[in-house]
Structure 1
Amino acid sequence: MSPQPLRVALIEEPASPPATALGYVDAADEDENENGATLQVARCLARAGHQVDVFTRRDDPDAPAVVDVRPGLRRLHMTAGPARCVTKQALLAHLPEFSRSMQRLFARSVRYDVVHANGLLSGLAALRLKEGFGMPLVMSLDVRRPPAQDAETFASERIDIERRLVAHADRLVAECAHDKAELMRLYRAPPRAIATVPRGVDTDELAPASRSEARRTLGLADDEFVVLQLGRLAPGKGIDNVIRAIAQLPSAARVRLLVVGGASRAPDERATPEIARLRRLAAQCGVASRITFVGRRRRAELAALYNACDVFVTTPWHQALGITALEAMACGTPVVGSAVGGIASSVVDGVTGYLVAPHDPDALAERLAHLRAHPELARALGRAGLRRVRSRFSLERVAEALIDIYEAVRWRAHEAHQAHDRHRLRLVGRAGGRAQEAHA
């Protein structure tokens, strides 16, 4: 624990349209939904004795200005544009008002020791606070470049903003080794300016449980080999890859693929067109009867899904945070994932699961068949994954790492202020000496 409690201003990335409206699983998408994770880490910081204020944009007209979440933790809603969810492009236009709302509050409140911004738009607001109040800035920045079809409408502005954030942040936080390498490659960020802190998992909320009970809850047969795919339903998520791999498993095998996600609780092809495309692919591959589209599920329902399956699969084409892989590991479930981004840092190949190339259904099918044939091995991989999450990826571990970063930037800011004061006093002294000489 820090020897002296910290006052932390944690700026949460303003929400664009809800994740569920875009086909995400509530609070479980590995690319977009940061808000739940931000609040979870803030709770850990507050439990450690620090005062944390989480700032976010008001997107609900009925939300109170201040919410006391728990002792030491408040959530503050800043007025910036209409009190509803808007697109990221629209959010960019409302950021000046968001920043002004925070500046007015900062001018009236106790000084914070550090400002920690999560995400691009939050960072832009935090820069103005750093400039106006001189507080050190810690910046968590995702600089992954999505495929062309997923690129944001303000992609060119994003690069300019990221360049400013990298140049002016007192400390950059990367979630995995790949993210650190991207910060260095794209923006020439010095390695010493970057700390690697992974996304944390709530190991109380997600933990091993009885597989039989989880299957009874979900209506699954005990003798099926269940594969789980959970997250956003989009072409780049590689669900095609999983369907093609399932098609290569023996036709006599009792295999069930659960595809969880979408814009509605019941799988709806109109609300989530990707479901229709994947169903056509499953029919072409002759495995439509083996695949169940579950629809969107609440966060409270995820533990049962992770515990019910024999293996969790996530094979996106491009860089991903890998949070769903960690969540599965927290439940003692082995993972087969793409060797990309955070997944490559989360899954230890041959120890907690397996890594495969993103576009290789043959390799994926081979790993699934091997785990199906060797259930003891699958359980051993799951136990190793559980140990890895608890030792390196728990929310408590993440909070400890962040506290170390906050202490370091606070100390450097204190030293810089003292050096500035000493320099100013020397200048005053010299000016006084010259005045005395002139008077003599």
Structure 2
Amino acid sequence: MYKPVRIAFLSEHASPAALRGGEDAGGQNVYVDEVSRNLARLGYSVDVFTRRDNAEMPEIIDWAPGVRVVNLTAGPESPLLKDDLWPYMPAFREAFLSFALRDEVSYELIHGNFWMSGWVAAELKQRLDVPVVQIFHAMGKTKRLHQGKNDHSPRARIAVETRVIRDVDRLIAQCPNELSELVDDYGADPAKIAVLPSAVNIEIFRPVPQAEARAFLKINPDEFVIVYVGRMLPRKDIRNVVRATALLLQRCPEKEKVRLLIVGGETPEPDPVRTPEIGELQRLASEMGIAERVQFVGKRQQDTLRYFYSAGDVVVTTPWYEPFGLTPLEGMACGRPVVGSAVGGITFTIKDGETGFLVPPRDPQALSERLYQLLCEPALRVSLGKAARERVEHEFTWRMVAARTAALYESLAMVQRPLILPDQPTLDLPIPSVAGR
């Protein structure tokens, strides 16, 4: 009888079941959700372990065929900021061991997500003698460099990352920049690292005819619409987008035909109390005299986000730094040109001049110049958007990520290729090379 290879995903603060768009709910939630689902389609059995932040949440959620979400009790059963979770990681480790012992579950491999789960994974490697694959999603030294005094990570973070990098069997870097961070900043062994880009769900994020999307959202069909989708944090520098929009409006004789659409926050309706960055952006827009041209939408889920992307003429994201960044891929998948800051993974996903444009971070003038170019050249918007969708289809799908991740698992002697069930198609994709080999 076929017994699937069982994988334990550790993701202490980012559950697939969490809503997107909040302060601590973003790309990691999506990664864990999509990779686990697509690994299951390849024949793996995946348990995703996350911290219980709601006393009414069941211990086990049958999340998708072949995927369970296991909520472990570690600390208070209430929401906490991820930077406050570090003291509860020993309890998270013990809760995992108790669950596995009680349910008589054994795992052939552990896949850690983020540095705290990485610590737990490294601990479990010693206890259980199983291989560990680790992805950080963001590195502490890079965060400290770019955020300075606004970095509230626990003091132990960088030392823990260094230990995890040393002890695990394989490391995943999502882009060449992250590979360089691991090697140059932490002294990681290049032979342990595989560059496996993250991706986007091209069935959920797909082009919607702009007229249809605008009718759905009740947006004027004649406006030039700039769209930002993502978390509302200072480092995302949406203030830069507001300033660039103000500069753009200075050049537009018909100002009423330009709109900046900002999607994200802690609540479905924009709330400057629950999401302080919304309040800062509202004040900035008012100071710059463009408040009536900036529309805040609040948090939205994946099944409607394609309408917001598709309603736009251009998608913009200009953070100070970005380890990888999934929202540029979402905009590209919806057939829209993306203007992004030339930092981190954005330099890898956007092809400057082919699928959108790269601009310096914290440079509203440079951003406004690109926005003005796109406003004046509708045909360019169409050609860039078409190329963006094609790039995503060829390079950045979750099925590709799962196949490449499975190939990485197979590079570990203790994990063999699972049987692919007849109704689960195989993928003719290259096995990723591991850097340094």
Distance 1:103 1:333 in 2: 46
Q: What is the deviation of 1:302?
A: 0.9
Is the alpha carbon distance of 1:223 and 1:206 closer, same or farther for their aligned partners in structure 2, counting shifts above 3 Å?
A: same
Q: What is the deviation of 1:134?
A: 0.7
Question: Is residue 98 of structure 1 aligned with residue 96 of structure 2?
Answer: no
Distance 2:24 2:88 in 1: 26
Q: Which residue of 2 aligns with 1:420?
A: none
Q: Which residue of 2 aligns with 1:422?
A: none
Question: Is residue 347 of structure 1 aligned with residue 350 of structure 2?
Answer: yes
Q: What is the deviation of 1:260?
A: 1.6
Structure 1 letter corresponding to 2:192: A
Q: What is the deviation of 1:90?
A: 4.1
Q: Check conservation: 2:27, 2:325, Cα contact below 8 A.
A: no
Q: Which residue of 1 aligns with 2:66?
A: 72
Q: What is the aligned counterpart of 1:311 among 306, 314, 318?
A: 314
Is the alpha carbon distance of 1:235 and 1:85 closer, same or farther for their aligned partners in structure 2, counting shifts above 3 Å?
A: closer
Q: What is the aligned counterpart of 1:286 among 289, 293, 298?
A: 289
Q: Which residue of 1 aligns with 2:435?
A: none
Q: Which residue of 1 aligns with 2:432?
A: none
Q: What is the deviation of 1:413?
A: 10
The structure richer in helix per residue is 1
Q: Check conservation: 2:21, 2:264, Cα contact below 8 A.
A: yes
| Larger CA deviation: 46-55 vs 352-361 | 46-55
Structure 2 letter corresponding to 1:252: P
Is the alpha carbon distance of 1:375 and 1:121 closer, same or farther for their aligned partners in structure 2, counting shifts above 3 Å?
A: same
Distance 1:364 1:4 in 2: 53
Q: Which residue of 2 aligns with 1:50?
A: 44
| Larger CA deviation: 94-103 vs 270-279 | 270-279
> Considering only CA atoms, is the larger Rg found in Structure 1 or Structure 2?
1
Distance 1:69 1:271 in 2: 29
Question: Is residue 270 of structure 1 aligned with residue 266 of structure 2?
Answer: no
Q: Check conservation: 2:46, 2:66, Cα contact below 8 A.
A: yes
Matches within 5 A, 1:6-405: 6-15=5-14, 25=21, 32-107=26-101, 109-141=104-136, 142-143=138-139, 144-146=142-144, 147-154=147-154, 156-249=155-248, 250-253=251-254, 254-405=257-408
Q: What is the deviation of 1:8?
A: 1.1
* Cα displacement string for residues 182-217 of structure 1 (whole angstroms, at most 9, x for unaligned residues): 111111112221111122211111111111111011
Distance 2:6 2:258 in 1: 52
Q: Check conservation: 1:41, 1:200, Cα contact below 8 A.
A: no
The alignment yields a C-alpha RMSD, in angstroms, of 2.5
Flag structure 2 segments of 5+ consecutive residues without an equivalent: 418-437
Q: What is the SS of the residue equivalent to 1:409?
A: coil
Structure 2 letter corresponding to 1:191: P
Q: Which residue of 1 aligns with 2:410?
A: 407
| Larger CA deviation: 133-142 vs 250-259 | 250-259
Q: What is the deviation of 1:110?
A: 4.5
Residue-pair matches, total: 405
Distance 1:351 1:377 in 2: 10
Is the alpha carbon distance of 1:31 and 1:39 closer, same or farther for their aligned partners in structure 2, counting shifts above 3 Å?
A: closer
Structure 2 letter corresponding to 1:44: N
Structure 1 letter corresponding to 2:118: G
Distance 1:234 1:56 in 2: 23
Distance 1:244 1:192 in 2: 44
* Cα displacement string for residues 317-374 of structure 1 (whole angstroms, at most 9, x for unaligned residues): 1234221101101111110000001111110101110000002222111111111111
Is the alpha carbon distance of 1:388 and 1:182 closer, same or farther for their aligned partners in structure 2, counting shifts above 3 Å?
A: same
Q: Check conservation: 1:57, 1:98, Cα contact below 8 A.
A: yes
